[in-house]
Amino acid sequence: MDFQLTEEQRAIRDAVREFAEKEIMPRAAEIDRTDQFPAEIFQKLGAHGLMGLHIPEAEGGAGADTISQALAVEEISRASGSVGLTYAAHLSLGCSPIWNWGTNAQKKKFLAPLARGEGIGALALTEPKGGSDLAGGVQTTATLQGNEWVINGSKSFVTSGAIARSINVLCKTDPTQGHRGMSIIIVPRETRGVVIGKVEEKMGLRGSVTTQIFFEDCRVPQENLLGEQGKGFYYAMTTLDGGRIGIGAMALGLGRAALDAAIKYAQERVAFGKPIADLQAIQFMIADSAMELDAARLMIYRAADLKQTGKKFATEAAMAKLFASEAAERACFKAIQIHGGAGYLRDFPVERFYRDNRLTLIGEGTSEILRHVIAREILKAN
Ligand SMILES: Cc1cc2nc3c(=O)[nH]c(=O)nc-3n(C[C@H](O)[C@H](O)[C@H](O)COP(=O)(O)OP(=O)(O)OC[C@H]3O[C@@H](n4cnc5c(N)ncnc54)[C@H](O)[C@@H]3O)c2cc1C
Protein backbone atom coordinates (compact mmCIF):
# COMPACT_ATOMS: atom_id res chain seq x y z
CA MET A 1 0.00 0.00 0.00
CA ASP A 2 1.45 3.32 -1.10
CA PHE A 3 0.39 6.43 0.79
CA GLN A 4 2.44 8.77 -1.42
CA LEU A 5 1.02 10.74 -4.30
CA THR A 6 2.77 10.14 -7.62
CA GLU A 7 4.94 12.87 -9.08
CA GLU A 8 2.21 13.71 -11.59
CA GLN A 9 -0.49 13.89 -8.90
CA ARG A 10 1.68 16.22 -6.79
CA ALA A 11 2.40 18.40 -9.81
CA ILE A 12 -1.32 18.71 -10.59
CA ARG A 13 -2.17 19.44 -6.95
CA ASP A 14 0.52 22.12 -6.68
CA ALA A 15 -0.43 23.76 -9.98
CA VAL A 16 -4.15 23.85 -9.07
CA ARG A 17 -3.34 25.15 -5.57
CA GLU A 18 -1.26 27.97 -7.04
CA PHE A 19 -4.01 28.84 -9.52
CA ALA A 20 -6.73 28.68 -6.84
CA GLU A 21 -4.80 30.82 -4.35
CA LYS A 22 -4.04 33.46 -6.99
CA GLU A 23 -7.19 33.52 -9.12
CA ILE A 24 -10.04 32.26 -6.91
CA MET A 25 -9.32 32.77 -3.19
CA PRO A 26 -9.06 36.58 -3.34
CA ARG A 27 -12.52 36.71 -4.99
CA ALA A 28 -14.33 34.15 -2.79
CA ALA A 29 -15.93 36.62 -0.35
CA GLU A 30 -17.13 38.85 -3.19
CA ILE A 31 -18.61 35.87 -5.10
CA ASP A 32 -20.49 34.92 -1.93
CA ARG A 33 -21.67 38.47 -1.28
CA THR A 34 -22.81 39.26 -4.83
CA ASP A 35 -24.09 35.76 -5.69
CA GLN A 36 -22.74 36.29 -9.22
CA PHE A 37 -21.47 33.37 -11.27
CA PRO A 38 -17.75 34.06 -11.90
CA ALA A 39 -17.64 33.18 -15.61
CA GLU A 40 -14.11 34.49 -16.09
CA ILE A 41 -12.71 32.05 -13.49
CA PHE A 42 -14.14 29.18 -15.54
CA GLN A 43 -12.63 30.61 -18.72
CA LYS A 44 -9.26 30.57 -16.96
CA LEU A 45 -9.82 27.04 -15.65
CA GLY A 46 -10.48 26.06 -19.27
CA ALA A 47 -7.35 27.85 -20.49
CA HIS A 48 -5.32 25.92 -17.88
CA GLY A 49 -6.71 22.60 -19.19
CA LEU A 50 -8.61 21.90 -15.97
CA MET A 51 -12.19 21.70 -17.30
CA GLY A 52 -11.55 18.26 -18.77
CA LEU A 53 -8.98 17.16 -16.24
CA HIS A 54 -10.03 13.48 -16.07
CA ILE A 55 -11.19 13.19 -19.67
CA PRO A 56 -8.79 11.48 -22.13
CA GLU A 57 -6.72 13.78 -24.31
CA ALA A 58 -8.39 12.33 -27.41
CA GLU A 59 -11.71 13.74 -26.16
CA GLY A 60 -10.27 17.20 -25.46
CA GLY A 61 -9.26 16.60 -21.82
CA ALA A 62 -6.02 16.32 -19.87
CA GLY A 63 -6.12 12.55 -19.19
CA ALA A 64 -5.44 12.81 -15.45
CA ASP A 65 -6.49 10.09 -13.00
CA THR A 66 -9.30 10.04 -10.42
CA ILE A 67 -7.05 10.97 -7.47
CA SER A 68 -5.84 14.02 -9.43
CA GLN A 69 -9.47 14.94 -10.09
CA ALA A 70 -10.17 14.77 -6.32
CA LEU A 71 -7.04 16.83 -5.58
CA ALA A 72 -8.14 19.54 -8.03
CA VAL A 73 -11.66 19.69 -6.57
CA GLU A 74 -10.21 19.89 -3.04
CA GLU A 75 -7.84 22.75 -3.89
CA ILE A 76 -10.49 24.73 -5.78
CA SER A 77 -13.08 24.21 -3.02
CA ARG A 78 -10.56 25.30 -0.39
CA ALA A 79 -10.40 28.61 -2.29
CA SER A 80 -14.16 28.92 -2.91
CA GLY A 81 -16.94 26.43 -2.23
CA SER A 82 -19.08 28.01 -4.96
CA VAL A 83 -16.43 27.54 -7.63
CA GLY A 84 -15.66 24.09 -6.16
CA LEU A 85 -19.23 22.80 -6.48
CA THR A 86 -19.62 24.17 -10.02
CA TYR A 87 -16.31 22.59 -10.99
CA ALA A 88 -17.00 19.23 -9.31
CA ALA A 89 -20.48 19.01 -10.88
CA HIS A 90 -19.12 19.94 -14.31
CA LEU A 91 -16.52 17.15 -14.20
CA SER A 92 -18.51 14.33 -12.66
CA LEU A 93 -22.13 15.13 -13.61
CA GLY A 94 -21.69 17.05 -16.87
CA CYS A 95 -18.68 15.33 -18.47
CA SER A 96 -18.40 11.82 -16.99
CA PRO A 97 -21.74 10.36 -18.19
CA ILE A 98 -20.95 11.33 -21.80
CA TRP A 99 -17.45 9.95 -21.48
CA ASN A 100 -18.73 6.69 -19.94
CA TRP A 101 -21.68 5.94 -22.18
CA GLY A 102 -21.61 8.39 -25.09
CA THR A 103 -21.11 7.44 -28.73
CA ASN A 104 -18.06 8.78 -30.56
CA ALA A 105 -20.29 11.34 -32.24
CA GLN A 106 -21.72 12.48 -28.87
CA LYS A 107 -18.22 12.73 -27.40
CA LYS A 108 -17.13 14.91 -30.30
CA LYS A 109 -20.24 17.09 -30.27
CA PHE A 110 -20.97 17.40 -26.54
CA LEU A 111 -18.02 16.20 -24.43
CA ALA A 112 -15.04 17.74 -26.24
CA PRO A 113 -16.33 21.35 -25.94
CA LEU A 114 -17.00 20.81 -22.21
CA ALA A 115 -13.56 19.28 -21.70
CA ARG A 116 -11.91 22.15 -23.59
CA GLY A 117 -13.67 24.61 -21.30
CA GLU A 118 -15.95 26.05 -23.97
CA GLY A 119 -18.99 25.46 -21.76
CA ILE A 120 -20.19 23.95 -18.52
CA GLY A 121 -22.02 20.64 -18.19
CA ALA A 122 -24.95 19.75 -15.93
CA LEU A 123 -27.03 16.77 -14.84
CA ALA A 124 -30.75 17.06 -14.11
CA LEU A 125 -32.06 14.20 -12.00
CA THR A 126 -33.97 15.78 -9.10
CA GLU A 127 -37.58 16.86 -9.55
CA PRO A 128 -40.01 18.73 -7.31
CA LYS A 129 -41.48 15.38 -6.20
CA GLY A 130 -38.18 14.04 -4.97
CA GLY A 131 -34.41 13.76 -5.03
CA SER A 132 -33.62 10.79 -2.80
CA ASP A 133 -36.45 8.74 -4.29
CA LEU A 134 -35.59 9.20 -7.94
CA ALA A 135 -37.39 6.04 -8.98
CA GLY A 136 -40.64 7.45 -7.60
CA GLY A 137 -39.87 11.12 -8.13
CA VAL A 138 -39.05 11.37 -11.83
CA GLN A 139 -42.12 12.48 -13.78
CA THR A 140 -40.39 14.09 -16.77
CA THR A 141 -41.17 12.15 -19.93
CA ALA A 142 -39.42 11.82 -23.27
CA THR A 143 -41.51 10.44 -26.12
CA LEU A 144 -40.11 9.45 -29.47
CA GLN A 145 -41.94 11.27 -32.28
CA GLY A 146 -40.43 10.48 -35.67
CA ASN A 147 -36.71 10.84 -35.14
CA GLU A 148 -36.99 13.29 -32.22
CA TRP A 149 -37.41 12.99 -28.46
CA VAL A 150 -40.11 15.30 -27.13
CA ILE A 151 -39.41 16.13 -23.49
CA ASN A 152 -41.98 17.45 -21.00
CA GLY A 153 -41.64 17.98 -17.27
CA SER A 154 -39.55 19.89 -14.76
CA LYS A 155 -36.30 19.46 -12.87
CA SER A 156 -35.20 21.21 -9.70
CA PHE A 157 -31.90 22.15 -8.07
CA VAL A 158 -29.90 21.82 -11.30
CA THR A 159 -26.35 23.01 -10.60
CA SER A 160 -25.30 25.30 -13.47
CA GLY A 161 -28.60 24.55 -15.24
CA ALA A 162 -29.12 28.17 -16.29
CA ILE A 163 -25.64 28.59 -17.75
CA ALA A 164 -24.80 25.10 -19.00
CA ARG A 165 -23.90 24.36 -22.58
CA SER A 166 -25.62 20.97 -22.32
CA ILE A 167 -27.68 19.17 -19.69
CA ASN A 168 -27.92 15.40 -19.19
CA VAL A 169 -31.60 14.91 -18.39
CA LEU A 170 -33.09 11.81 -16.73
CA CYS A 171 -36.49 11.11 -18.30
CA LYS A 172 -39.09 8.39 -18.36
CA THR A 173 -39.00 6.91 -21.84
CA ASP A 174 -41.30 4.01 -20.92
CA PRO A 175 -43.55 5.00 -18.01
CA THR A 176 -44.81 1.38 -17.67
CA GLN A 177 -41.37 0.08 -16.67
CA GLY A 178 -40.63 2.02 -13.47
CA HIS A 179 -36.92 2.73 -13.02
CA ARG A 180 -36.14 0.36 -15.92
CA GLY A 181 -38.07 2.70 -18.20
CA MET A 182 -35.80 5.69 -17.63
CA SER A 183 -33.16 7.08 -20.00
CA ILE A 184 -30.72 9.99 -20.05
CA ILE A 185 -30.99 12.41 -22.95
CA ILE A 186 -28.42 15.12 -23.73
CA VAL A 187 -30.17 18.46 -24.14
CA PRO A 188 -28.30 21.56 -25.34
CA ARG A 189 -29.52 24.34 -23.06
CA GLU A 190 -30.39 26.64 -25.94
CA THR A 191 -32.88 24.15 -27.37
CA ARG A 192 -36.37 25.58 -27.82
CA GLY A 193 -38.64 24.37 -25.01
CA VAL A 194 -35.93 24.55 -22.32
CA VAL A 195 -37.25 27.17 -19.90
CA ILE A 196 -35.01 28.20 -17.03
CA GLY A 197 -36.84 28.91 -13.77
CA LYS A 198 -35.74 31.21 -11.01
CA VAL A 199 -32.21 31.14 -9.70
CA GLU A 200 -32.47 29.74 -6.17
CA GLU A 201 -31.38 31.92 -3.24
CA LYS A 202 -29.13 29.62 -1.24
CA MET A 203 -27.68 29.82 2.26
CA GLY A 204 -24.23 29.10 0.87
CA LEU A 205 -22.42 28.27 -2.35
CA ARG A 206 -23.66 31.57 -3.63
CA GLY A 207 -22.35 32.23 -7.11
CA SER A 208 -22.97 28.60 -8.02
CA VAL A 209 -26.13 28.85 -10.12
CA THR A 210 -28.91 26.48 -8.99
CA THR A 211 -32.17 26.57 -10.95
CA GLN A 212 -35.36 24.80 -11.79
CA ILE A 213 -35.71 23.85 -15.46
CA PHE A 214 -38.97 23.33 -17.33
CA PHE A 215 -39.19 21.25 -20.48
CA GLU A 216 -42.11 22.31 -22.66
CA ASP A 217 -42.38 20.17 -25.78
CA CYS A 218 -38.61 20.34 -25.98
CA ARG A 219 -37.41 18.47 -29.08
CA VAL A 220 -33.95 16.99 -29.51
CA PRO A 221 -32.69 14.49 -32.13
CA GLN A 222 -33.10 10.76 -31.40
CA GLU A 223 -29.29 10.38 -31.40
CA ASN A 224 -29.08 12.50 -28.21
CA LEU A 225 -30.11 9.43 -26.19
CA LEU A 226 -27.14 8.59 -23.95
CA GLY A 227 -26.13 4.92 -24.03
CA GLU A 228 -28.97 2.43 -24.03
CA GLN A 229 -32.65 3.24 -23.69
CA GLY A 230 -33.95 2.08 -20.29
CA LYS A 231 -30.56 2.28 -18.57
CA GLY A 232 -30.86 5.90 -17.42
CA PHE A 233 -31.54 5.09 -13.77
CA TYR A 234 -28.47 2.83 -13.64
CA TYR A 235 -26.37 5.53 -15.35
CA ALA A 236 -27.65 8.11 -12.84
CA MET A 237 -26.80 5.94 -9.83
CA THR A 238 -23.35 5.07 -11.21
CA THR A 239 -22.68 8.75 -11.96
CA LEU A 240 -23.61 9.66 -8.37
CA ASP A 241 -21.22 6.97 -7.05
CA GLY A 242 -18.36 8.77 -8.82
CA GLY A 243 -19.71 12.22 -7.96
CA ARG A 244 -19.56 11.37 -4.27
CA ILE A 245 -15.77 11.23 -4.44
CA GLY A 246 -15.91 14.79 -5.77
CA ILE A 247 -18.31 16.04 -3.08
CA GLY A 248 -16.13 14.37 -0.43
CA ALA A 249 -13.11 16.21 -1.90
CA MET A 250 -15.09 19.45 -1.90
CA ALA A 251 -15.90 18.99 1.81
CA LEU A 252 -12.25 18.21 2.50
CA GLY A 253 -11.21 21.46 0.83
CA LEU A 254 -13.72 23.48 2.86
CA GLY A 255 -12.76 21.68 6.09
CA ARG A 256 -9.10 22.43 5.40
CA ALA A 257 -9.89 26.09 4.76
CA ALA A 258 -11.70 26.23 8.11
CA LEU A 259 -8.85 24.50 9.95
CA ASP A 260 -6.22 26.78 8.34
CA ALA A 261 -8.21 29.86 9.39
CA ALA A 262 -8.68 28.48 12.93
CA ILE A 263 -4.96 27.77 13.35
CA LYS A 264 -4.01 31.26 12.14
CA TYR A 265 -6.54 32.94 14.42
CA ALA A 266 -5.59 30.82 17.44
CA GLN A 267 -1.95 31.83 17.04
CA GLU A 268 -2.78 35.53 16.77
CA ARG A 269 -5.59 35.98 19.28
CA VAL A 270 -4.42 36.67 22.83
CA ALA A 271 -6.56 35.94 25.90
CA PHE A 272 -5.44 35.87 29.52
CA GLY A 273 -2.00 37.06 28.43
CA LYS A 274 -1.16 34.37 25.88
CA PRO A 275 -2.23 33.17 22.42
CA ILE A 276 -5.36 31.01 22.66
CA ALA A 277 -3.38 28.36 20.71
CA ASP A 278 -1.61 27.68 24.04
CA LEU A 279 -4.91 26.63 25.63
CA GLN A 280 -5.55 22.91 25.71
CA ALA A 281 -9.25 23.37 24.91
CA ILE A 282 -8.30 25.10 21.64
CA GLN A 283 -5.52 22.58 20.88
CA PHE A 284 -7.95 19.70 21.24
CA MET A 285 -10.32 21.25 18.72
CA ILE A 286 -7.44 21.75 16.26
CA ALA A 287 -6.19 18.20 16.84
CA ASP A 288 -9.64 16.66 16.30
CA SER A 289 -10.22 18.59 13.07
CA ALA A 290 -6.75 17.75 11.71
CA MET A 291 -7.20 14.06 12.55
CA GLU A 292 -10.69 13.76 11.07
CA LEU A 293 -9.78 15.60 7.86
CA ASP A 294 -6.73 13.37 7.48
CA ALA A 295 -8.93 10.28 7.80
CA ALA A 296 -11.34 11.77 5.26
CA ARG A 297 -8.46 12.36 2.85
CA LEU A 298 -7.37 8.71 3.05
CA MET A 299 -10.94 7.52 2.47
CA ILE A 300 -11.30 9.79 -0.58
CA TYR A 301 -7.99 8.59 -2.07
CA ARG A 302 -8.98 4.95 -1.47
CA ALA A 303 -12.33 5.38 -3.22
CA ALA A 304 -10.63 7.28 -6.07
CA ASP A 305 -7.97 4.59 -6.44
CA LEU A 306 -10.59 1.81 -6.52
CA LYS A 307 -12.54 3.70 -9.20
CA GLN A 308 -9.40 4.42 -11.24
CA THR A 309 -8.35 0.76 -11.19
CA GLY A 310 -11.77 -0.45 -12.29
CA LYS A 311 -12.73 -2.09 -8.98
CA LYS A 312 -16.00 -1.81 -7.06
CA PHE A 313 -15.99 1.55 -5.32
CA ALA A 314 -19.59 2.57 -4.61
CA THR A 315 -19.60 1.70 -0.89
CA GLU A 316 -16.17 3.27 -0.33
CA ALA A 317 -17.25 6.41 -2.21
CA ALA A 318 -20.40 6.65 -0.07
CA MET A 319 -18.30 6.21 3.09
CA ALA A 320 -15.77 8.81 1.93
CA LYS A 321 -18.43 11.41 1.13
CA LEU A 322 -20.38 10.75 4.33
CA PHE A 323 -17.32 10.90 6.55
CA ALA A 324 -15.67 13.87 4.78
CA SER A 325 -18.84 15.99 4.76
CA GLU A 326 -19.52 15.39 8.45
CA ALA A 327 -15.83 15.82 9.39
CA ALA A 328 -15.77 19.13 7.50
CA GLU A 329 -19.01 20.19 9.23
CA ARG A 330 -17.35 19.60 12.61
CA ALA A 331 -14.15 21.36 11.48
CA CYS A 332 -16.18 24.41 10.37
CA PHE A 333 -18.14 24.39 13.64
CA LYS A 334 -14.91 24.30 15.65
CA ALA A 335 -13.30 26.99 13.49
CA ILE A 336 -16.17 29.35 14.35
CA GLN A 337 -15.87 28.39 18.02
CA ILE A 338 -12.14 29.12 18.00
CA HIS A 339 -12.87 32.56 16.49
CA GLY A 340 -15.32 33.34 19.29
CA GLY A 341 -17.62 36.28 18.41
CA ALA A 342 -15.46 37.12 15.37
CA GLY A 343 -16.39 33.73 13.90
CA TYR A 344 -20.02 34.84 13.75
CA LEU A 345 -19.19 37.89 11.64
CA ARG A 346 -19.04 38.15 7.88
CA ASP A 347 -15.65 39.88 8.31
CA PHE A 348 -14.07 36.45 8.77
CA PRO A 349 -14.41 33.61 6.25
CA VAL A 350 -15.26 30.77 8.64
CA GLU A 351 -19.03 31.42 8.65
CA ARG A 352 -18.94 31.14 4.83
CA PHE A 353 -17.09 27.83 4.99
CA TYR A 354 -19.76 26.58 7.39
CA ARG A 355 -22.62 27.66 5.10
CA ASP A 356 -20.89 26.37 1.97
CA ASN A 357 -20.10 22.99 3.44
CA ARG A 358 -23.70 22.35 4.55
CA LEU A 359 -24.63 21.25 1.03
CA THR A 360 -22.08 18.42 1.07
CA LEU A 361 -24.31 16.57 3.59
CA ILE A 362 -27.29 16.83 1.21
CA GLY A 363 -26.29 16.84 -2.48
CA GLU A 364 -25.53 13.63 -4.44
CA GLY A 365 -27.03 11.51 -1.64
CA THR A 366 -28.02 12.82 1.77
CA SER A 367 -26.19 11.48 4.83
CA GLU A 368 -29.27 9.34 5.56
CA ILE A 369 -29.31 7.83 2.06
CA LEU A 370 -25.56 7.16 2.25
CA ARG A 371 -25.93 5.34 5.57
CA HIS A 372 -28.66 3.29 3.90
CA VAL A 373 -26.38 2.52 0.90
CA ILE A 374 -23.47 1.50 3.16
CA ALA A 375 -25.59 -0.64 5.50
CA ARG A 376 -27.30 -2.38 2.56
CA GLU A 377 -23.92 -3.41 1.10
CA ILE A 378 -22.53 -4.55 4.45
CA LEU A 379 -25.61 -6.58 5.30
CA LYS A 380 -25.62 -8.12 1.80
CA ALA A 381 -21.99 -9.22 2.23
CA ASN A 382 -22.55 -10.84 5.64
C1 LIG B 1 -27.13 23.41 -3.91
C2 LIG B 1 -27.73 22.15 -4.48
C3 LIG B 1 -27.27 21.66 -5.70
C4 LIG B 1 -27.87 20.53 -6.26
N5 LIG B 1 -27.46 20.11 -7.51
C6 LIG B 1 -28.16 19.13 -8.14
C7 LIG B 1 -27.88 18.79 -9.51
O8 LIG B 1 -26.97 19.34 -10.14
N9 LIG B 1 -28.64 17.85 -10.11
C10 LIG B 1 -29.65 17.20 -9.45
O11 LIG B 1 -30.31 16.37 -10.06
N12 LIG B 1 -29.93 17.48 -8.14
C13 LIG B 1 -29.22 18.43 -7.49
N14 LIG B 1 -29.51 18.75 -6.17
C15 LIG B 1 -30.59 18.03 -5.49
C16 LIG B 1 -30.07 17.10 -4.41
O17 LIG B 1 -29.38 16.02 -4.97
C18 LIG B 1 -31.28 16.69 -3.57
O19 LIG B 1 -31.70 17.85 -2.86
C20 LIG B 1 -30.95 15.57 -2.62
O21 LIG B 1 -30.72 14.37 -3.33
C22 LIG B 1 -32.10 15.32 -1.62
O23 LIG B 1 -33.32 15.22 -2.29
P24 LIG B 1 -34.56 16.11 -1.80
O25 LIG B 1 -34.10 17.52 -1.70
O26 LIG B 1 -35.70 15.82 -2.70
O27 LIG B 1 -34.87 15.62 -0.34
P28 LIG B 1 -35.82 14.38 0.04
O29 LIG B 1 -35.46 13.22 -0.79
O30 LIG B 1 -37.22 14.84 0.06
O31 LIG B 1 -35.33 14.10 1.54
C32 LIG B 1 -35.83 14.80 2.66
C33 LIG B 1 -35.29 14.15 3.93
O34 LIG B 1 -35.75 12.79 4.01
C35 LIG B 1 -34.65 11.91 4.11
N36 LIG B 1 -34.92 10.66 3.41
C37 LIG B 1 -35.48 10.50 2.18
N38 LIG B 1 -35.53 9.20 1.86
C39 LIG B 1 -34.98 8.52 2.89
C40 LIG B 1 -34.74 7.13 3.17
N41 LIG B 1 -35.06 6.17 2.29
N42 LIG B 1 -34.16 6.81 4.35
C43 LIG B 1 -33.84 7.78 5.24
N44 LIG B 1 -34.04 9.09 5.05
C45 LIG B 1 -34.59 9.46 3.88
C46 LIG B 1 -33.48 12.66 3.47
O47 LIG B 1 -32.22 12.17 3.91
C48 LIG B 1 -33.76 14.07 3.94
O49 LIG B 1 -33.28 14.22 5.25
C50 LIG B 1 -28.90 19.84 -5.57
C51 LIG B 1 -29.33 20.32 -4.32
C52 LIG B 1 -28.78 21.46 -3.78
C53 LIG B 1 -29.29 21.96 -2.46
Beta-carbon contacts of residue 330 (< 8 Å; ≥ 6 apart): 288, 289, 292
Stretch (H or E) spanning 352: helix 350-358
Q: Which of 85, 157, 206 to mutate to test the pocket of ligand 1 (most atoms within 8 A of CB)?
A: 157
pLDDT of residue 382: 86
| Cβ-count burial 272-283 (b if 16+ within 10 Å, e if not) | eeeebbeeeebe
User: What spacing in Å lies between the alpha carbon of 256 and ligand 1's midpoint?
Assistant: 25
Ligand 1 midpoint to CA 365 (Å):
6
> Looking at the DSSP assignment, which residues form a beta bridge with residue 144?
149
Q: What is the pLDDT of residue 263?
A: 98
Q: How many Å lie between the centroid of ligand 1 and the Cα of residue 124? A: 13
CA 41 to ligand 1 centroid distance, Å: 28
| Index of the ligand 1 atom closest to the CA of residue 93 | 8
Pocket test for ligand 1, best of 132, 159, 200 (most atoms within 8 A of CB): 132
Question: What pLDDT is stored for residue 2 in this prediction?
Answer: 85
Residue nearest to atom 41 of ligand 1 (CA): 369
Q: How far is CA 163 from CA 208, 211, 282, 312, 379, in A?
A: 10, 10, 43, 34, 42
Rounded CA-CA distance 233/173 in Å is 11
Ligand 1 center from residue 4 Cα (angstroms): 35
Q: How far apart are CA 92 and CA 99, in angstroms?
A: 10
> pTM, whole model, 2 decimals?
0.97
Per-residue pLDDT, 91:
98
The neighbour count for residue 191, using CB atoms within 10 Å, is 15
Q: Whose CA is nearest to atom 30 of ligand 1?
A: 130
What's the gap between Cα 99 and its chain centre?
17
Which ligand 1 atom is at minimum distance from the Cα of 122?
8
With contact defined as beta carbons under 8 Å apart, do 357 and 325 qualify? yes
Question: How much distance in Å is there from the Cα of 212 to the middle of ligand 1?
Answer: 14
Nearest atom, ligand 1, residue 367 CA: 47
What is the reported pLDDT for 118? 97
Question: Which residues contact ligand 1 via a Cβ below 6 A?
Answer: 89, 93, 123-126, 130-133, 157-159, 202, 205, 210, 359, 362-364, 366, 368-369, 372
Q: If DSSP states are collapsed to H, E and C, what string results for 75-102?
A: HHHHHCHHHHHHHHHHHHHHHHHHHHHC
What is the chain's mean pLDDT, rounded?
Answer: 97
Q: Which of 362, 372, 373 to mutate to test the pocket of ligand 1 (most atoms within 8 A of CB)?
A: 362
Q: Which pLDDT score, from 0 to 100, does residue 381 have?
A: 87
The CA 301 to ligand 1 mean position distance, Å, reads 25
Nearest residue to 330 via CA among 344, 314, 347, 350: 350
If you take atom 44 of ligand 1, which residue's CA is the nearest one?
368
From the candidate CATH numbers 3.10.129.10, 1.10.260.40, 3.40.50.300, 2.40.110.10, the one assigned to the domain spanning 122-231? 2.40.110.10
Q: Catalogue the active-site residues.
A: 364
Sign of torsion over alpha carbons 238, 242, 243, 247: positive
Q: Which atom of ligand 1 is nearest to the CA of 130?
A: 26
| DSSP symbol at 312 | -
CA 247–ligand 1 middle distance (angstroms): 14
- Residue 132 CA: nearest ligand 1 atom is 29
Domains of the chain, residue spans? 7-120, 122-231, 233-381
Q: Whose CA is nearest to atom 39 of ligand 1?
A: 369
Q: Could you list the mean pLDDT of each consecutive 10-residue stretch along the chain, which spans 382 residues?
A: 94 98 98 97 97 95 97 98 98 98 98 97 95 92 98 98 97 95 98 96 98 98 98 98 98 98 98 98 98 98 98 98 98 98 97 98 98 96 86
Q: Which CATH superfamily is domain 7-120 in?
A: Acyl-CoA dehydrogenase/oxidase, N-terminal domain (1.10.540.10)
- Looking at the structure, give the CATH architecture of the domain made up of residues 233-381: Up-down Bundle (1.20)
Ligand 1 probe mutation, 120, 322, 366, most atoms within 8 A of CB:
366
pLDDT of residue 89: 98
Q: Which atom of ligand 1 is nearest to the CA of 125?
A: 11
